[in-house]
Chain A
Amino acid sequence: MSETALSTKPSTEVIVLKPSRGWISLNLRDLWLYRELVYFLTWRDIKVRYKQTVLGAAWAIIQPLINMIVLSFIFGNLAKMSTDNIPRPIFTFTALLPWGLFSKALSDAGRSMLAHRGMITKVYFPRLIIPLASVMGGVVDFIIQLLILLGMMLYYHITPTVAVWTLPLFLLLTLSTALGIGLWLSALNVLYRDIGYILPFLTQIWLLITPVAYSVKEVPGHWQLIYALNPMVGVVEGFRWALLGTQNAPGPILAVSVGISLFLLITGMYYFRRMERTFADMV
């Protein structure tokens, strides 16, 4: 028995495998140990997404551009909703940035557990990584779209306000919301396959109740706080404020949205962990 064969020092920690009951810890330590896997899964998703396509990464730009054109037409030319004196394309495109990240989480994260059933039934790793990597995969698209947006702003001679330094914070808020909803949906989808079917429908409705193509001002005053229960409202308004300076610093609306977002995230993580024990058996 040669000692040199074991190149890493043998760990003396003991792991006990026993049935868990009820709510269990988030096990963030394991998540940290497996952080490289998040990177690799995200990298794999991005690499594979655009391989063998002719347009490659250009798809990351084309989709929101088309969205922007269609929404601008419907909400602008047809419904004639206001955009706070900002050129409509910029107004809509700014909101489409966080929306893209969120809707990717809705669809991809929701299905991610089922898509990775091969890995889940054969190897151990913290299962939280799967929806997490799925959400992170949208960040690259986000960055590409941000560059395009900055280009557009240059063209329209709009300079970002001094509040632009808060943009990373709003990105974090988007990620938190996306991850929160992603965790809930992915865990539920393993149990109830209906979720997979209602995702496209859910995405559509959610788009309409988020002020992507219209301004929050269109919502009557007394409804605004209830409206802000949709965490994406705070996110979108925050983005617009940071980049374009649409209004006073978003106050109560943002507070409500941040609260809901964190609530979704934390409850999502706990619910996911609680259901984790059944995943390998049910997926």
Chain B
Amino acid sequence: MTDIAIHVENLGKQYRIGAQLDSYRTLRDSLVDAAKWPVRVLRYGLSTRVDTIWALKNINFEVRQGEVLGVIGRNGAGKSTLLKILSRVTEPTEGYAEIRGRVGSLLEVGTGFHPELTGRENIYLNGAILGMKRVDINKKFDEIVDFSGVEKFIDTPVKRYSSGMYLRLAFAVAAHMDPEILVVDEVLAVGDAEFQRKCLGKMSDVAQEGRTVLFVSHNMSAILRLTQETIVLENGLLVYRAPSPQAVDFYLSSGFAQTSERCWQADEIPADASPFRPIALRVQNAQGKVVDTVRSAESNFIEVEYALDAPISGLRLGVYLMTMHGEPIFTSFDTDDQELYNRFGTRPAGRYFSRCVIPPDLLNEGRYVLGINASTFRVRRYFQDEHALAFSVDGTGAPGMQWPELRFGLVRPRLAWHIEELAQ
């Protein structure tokens, strides 16, 4: 009988939010509140009038020993909160979790690294913080240094390292933690492609060794590669659990409008997006109608409607196109073209739309996901939604449609073929 490594029952976490988002108080605040208490009771009764949000509510699931479980969801769905509770960093407000085995958490690489200490010293320090005993660190020291590739610089203070070296060393220490249960949060989001490849490789090794892994990521390919089953969190609730391909599909296509239009409500737009305000993202067919399915052989449109509450210079609005697996296809910004770039250097306040034409005979049949990004290059990102909208492409009129077969590949170009019989 396989043991259950993690058992979570009715887990919930409540946070206080209020008019002042500061979570700390000063004595003055406490005193003033205490003085105002009688007045508050008279007006509102004895019930506490604090605004709270449930970051997690009613979470129930089990993870068997040796299982690799993915956790996906939008930003703010509660993924990191769940990991923090399972890592004992914070306490649940209700419910409970039972953990069998030592938990190692990778919520961040390089926790506790001190810039003045050398790489060698930081390995010991970071290892100790992660719960490794000194004897273990001694035994694995050479492996860690080898994995990180910073052997030559191991005795230089870490503040002299490049960010790449720093990440590699930090990950190398964390990767040798050897816990029975490994909990990983988005560490793949940082670092270059080389680093990400190494991370994925190591995590896949860990999974092969039969450890239990809980893996949170936005990278759908990594989820599909490493995990067997995945749970989907939405607004603090566990909404779906299935083998990873189904769960990823569910996540990418759920929550979208039925027609291929995505509208953003005021409360979905973070405050720091201002003065940019996204209104809607839509896919239109050749006739300009907002549809869910477009034809590969026709020109189609992607339109973003937005408003600027103040002028912005250097704004570029772009769309990402991805497959349902999260593989990127292209990124295109409305000011990619030099002429538009010059004309719209500064956009005054007002309401806009940016529309692009998807050329005919570009996309293959299948389902795709659109994301949007509004930013100024290397300065500020106003708004980003990586999985905003899904739509389908059907192959009517595409070359080769006389044969009912599904072609591989993301593109379905109409190539000009020439057939000639060679003279004898």
Interface residues of A (CB under 8 A from B): 1-2, 5-8, 10-20, 34, 36-37, 40-41, 44, 47-48, 51-52, 118-125, 190-194, 277, 280-282
Contacts and interface: CB of A to CB of B under 8 A. Distances in A.
B141 to A, nearest CB: 15
A48 B117 contact: yes
B335 interface: no
Interface in B170-222: 178, 180, 209-211
Contacts of B131: 34, 123-125
Interface stretch (B44-52, B98-106, B283-291, B322-330): B98-106
Contacts of B125: 40-41, 44
Nearest to A15: B99
Interface string B102-127: 11010110011010110001001100
Nearest to B29: A192
A19 B101 contact: no
B27 A17 contact: no
Contact of B96 (A1, A18, A48, A281): A18
A115 B124 CA distance: 20
Across the A-B interface, give the 10 residue pairs with the lowest CB-CB distance, nearest first.
Answer: A1-B210, A18-B96, A124-B88, A5-B209, A40-B128, A280-B90, A17-B97, A277-B91, A122-B107, A194-B27
Given A118-B111, A125-B131, A11 B180 contact: yes
Given A5-B209, A40-B128, A119-B129, A17 B92 contact: yes
A20 to B, nearest CB: 6
A207 B287 CA distance: 83
B133 interface: yes
Nearest to A49: B116
B335 to A, nearest CB: 38
Nearest to A195: B27
A2 B210 contact: yes
B26 interface: yes
Interface stretch (B68-76, B79-87, B339-347, B373-381): B79-87
Contact of B27 (A2, A6, A34, A192): A192
B36 interface: no
| B interface SS class | loop
A2 B102 contact: no
A16 B89 contact: no
A48 B159 CA distance: 13
User: Of B90, B97, B125, which is in contact with the most chain A CB atoms at under 10 Å from its CB?
Assistant: B90
Given A12-B100, A14-B100, A123-B130, A280 B84 contact: yes
Contacts of A51: 116
A40 B124 contact: yes
Contacts of A15: 88, 98-99
A2 B209 contact: yes
A2 to B, nearest CB: 7
A37 B100 contact: no
B291 to A, nearest CB: 46
A36 B90 CA distance: 23
User: Of B88, B97, B112, B114, which is in contact with the most chain A CB atoms at under 10 Å from its CB?
Assistant: B112
Given A6-B209, A44-B114, A123-B129, A11 B89 contact: no
Nearest to B91: A277
A41 B103 CA distance: 21
Contact of B129 (A18, A20, A125): A125
Nearest to A45: B114
A10 to B, nearest CB: 5
17 contacts: A5-B209, A6-B178, A11-B180, A14-B100, A17-B96, A18-B92, A36-B134, A40-B125, A122-B107, A123-B105, A123-B112, A123-B130, A123-B131, A124-B88, A124-B89, A193-B26, A280-B84
Given A36-B134, A119-B129, A191-B25, A16 B96 contact: yes
B94 interface: yes
A194 B180 contact: no
A16 B90 contact: no
Nearest to B180: A10
B30 interface: yes
A17 B88 contact: yes
B152 interface: no
A123 B87 contact: yes
B24 interface: yes
B129 A47 contact: no
Given A36-B128, A40-B128, A1 B89 contact: no
A15 B103 CA distance: 10
A41 B98 CA distance: 30
Contacts of B66: 1
B61 to A, nearest CB: 14
B98 A14 contact: yes
Given A6-B180, A191-B25, A19 B93 contact: yes
A193 B24 CA distance: 7
B413 to A, nearest CB: 46
B28 interface: yes
Contacts of B112: 118-119, 123
A16 B8 CA distance: 10
A192 B98 contact: no
B98 A16 contact: yes
B107 A281 contact: no
Contacts of B25: 191-193
B162 interface: no
A48 B158 CA distance: 13
